[in-house]
Amino acid sequence: MARPRNILLIHTDQHRFDCLGAHGHPLVQTPNLDRLIAEGTTFSRAFTPSPICSPARASLLTGTWPSVHGCRGIPKTECYAPVNPELPLLTGLLRDADYRQGWVGKFHGEVAGKPDRHGVDDFLEHGDRYNQWRAEQGLPPKPWSGGTWGYFGNVDPHITPDQSSLAWEADQVLGLMEQYAAGDQPFMLRWDPIEPHLPCIPPEPFASMYNPDDIEPWPGFDDPLEKKPWAQRNQRRMWHVEGWTWKQWAPTVALYLAEVSLLDAQVGRLLAKLDDLGLAGDTLVVYSTDHGDLCGDHGMMDKHFIMYDSVTQVPLILRGPGVPAGETCGDFVCNEIDIAATALEIAGVEPPDSFVGRSLLTAARGEDPEPRRDMISQYFGAQFGLYSQRMLRDERWKYVWNATDRDELYDTQKDPGELFNLIEDPDYTSQLRRLRRRLGDWMTEIDDPMLNMWTRVHIYDEVPPQGGVDLHTDN
């Protein structure tokens, strides 16, 4: 069976699974990503290891869980730290396998030092480089947005789509692709655009592509948050969106969809260049994202304190040699962790023990002898403080353990919007007990420190020890 030699990874920021034409969105135009799905395999049950940037991205570099690699929050927050420096990194392992590596776009403090200190040959960070380019072209700075902390979107009136940050970064990727194609080494070329992360500030004509009046509310929008954790109501309060109607949210959603379409146009440029350089038949193309986005879903902004599918489920698309065309894989996938394992497989590198992912190529071909039947995700906190959550998601059920708040239980078949928390319904006691114990088994498997002598009493429905807990034991 043919095997890919090179890897093109497009790893975006905050792209919802349901915001692709081929995934059923009624409005969004994504012809190039739809083409990628038609020519490859899309994964319908890919979930992020953590629905926040740095921990998920660190899992891509380390091939393991946030509770193991140690990067559990984003920079400038109390739970942040870079990954454990003793862990081997994907970039170093690929360097040792003689891979040429390029990385364009976002880096969010996953490790101490920039990627070019860890095996990446060419690192072109977004930040000041694009702003400097704008100034050199005589273009005004990118305008900020309105609303709380400027997150609700705007239009950039000063540029054309070809002058956008997405197009500028795609230009850098295309330049590296041409360089690498001229050499003899296999390559991994990674593009990490910051889009469609809010605030979305696209130029025309994309900014007007979607009429807010035509956009239907998300399935989970009309959520009274009854029997939900208090932290969710507080999230609305902190973002100053309490009581917002869909009419107030729709303009932000329209700009988000516009940014997705502008991103899709740049993906098309990269796919065309692979064809022009004769690399398409030798390259595994991977499209994914670190996590999704609320963008008004459940009446909230961004992604914190929640484990709804709108932020935990992610698009994951593969195309290349050995990947079935036009197929959907329903295996449960741990997004970044399995991408890392697959990259090592392509490079012919024996994964170190710390890399715990599975082959996406094997899953895409339906050849995994024991496909996962569920998936977990971890959250530790961010800008607004520490807040431990663990999610277990199987084909039908979702259980969210909120260590310091009310737990959540959703029947995702009957309630796809995750509106009705069944955690206190006695009809689901046996189902809840099963899910809790399965979560405990997962936490044991990945050595999650949140499963300890105190919490396992709750997770496993055990009777607390009589006479007190011995704090001096390791059990």
In tens, the pLDDT along 389-415 reads: 999 999 999 999 999 999 999 999 999
- At 80, the pLDDT band (50, 70, 90 cuts) reads very high
Query: Model confidence at 69, in pLDDT bands (50, 70, 90)?
Result: very high
Edge-to-edge strands, sheet with 408-411: 374-382, 385-394, 397-402, 408-411
In this structure, of 60-69, 142-151, 388-397, 429-438, the range with the lowest mean pLDDT score is 142-151
pLDDT over 60 at 468, yes or no? no
Q: Say yes or no to pLDDT of 464 above 80.
A: no
Q: Two tokens at 239? A: 């973002």
pLDDT at 473 over 70: no
pLDDT band for 475, please (50, 70, 90 cuts): very low
pLDDT number for residue 206: 98
Please write the tens of the pLDDT for every residue from 171-208: 999 999 999 999 999 999 999 999 999 999 999 999 99
Instruction: Taking residues 96-123, report their average pLDDT.
Output: 97
pLDDT in tens, 43-54: 999 999 999 999
In angstroms, the CA 296 to CA 207 distance is 18
What's the rounded mean pLDDT across residues 327-342?
98
Measured distance CA(409)–CA(420) in Å, rounded: 8
Q: Give mean pLDDT, residues 85-106.
A: 98
**219-244 pLDDT, tens per residue?**
999 999 999 999 999 999 999 999 99
Confidence check: pLDDT of 39 > 80:
yes
Reply yes or no on whether the pLDDT at 470 is more than 60: no
pLDDT, mean of residues 292-296: 98
Q: What distance in Å separates the CA atoms of residue 378 and residue 416, rounded to the nearest whole number?
A: 21
- For residues 91-97, give the mean pLDDT: 98
269-293 tens-digit pLDDT: 999 999 999 999 999 999 999 999 9
Question: Which residues have C-beta within 8 Å of that of residue 96, sequence separation ≥ 6?
Answer: 119, 349
pLDDT band at 2; cut points 50, 70, 90? confident
In terms of pLDDT, which residue wins out, 151 or 257? 257
Q: Which domains does the chain have, with CATH numbers?
A: 6-373 (3.40.720.10), 377-459 (3.30.1120.10)
Mean pLDDT of 293-308: 97
Question: Cβ(167)–Cβ(82) under 8 Å?
Answer: no
Average pLDDT of the residues in 112-116:
96
pLDDT recorded at residue 462: 80
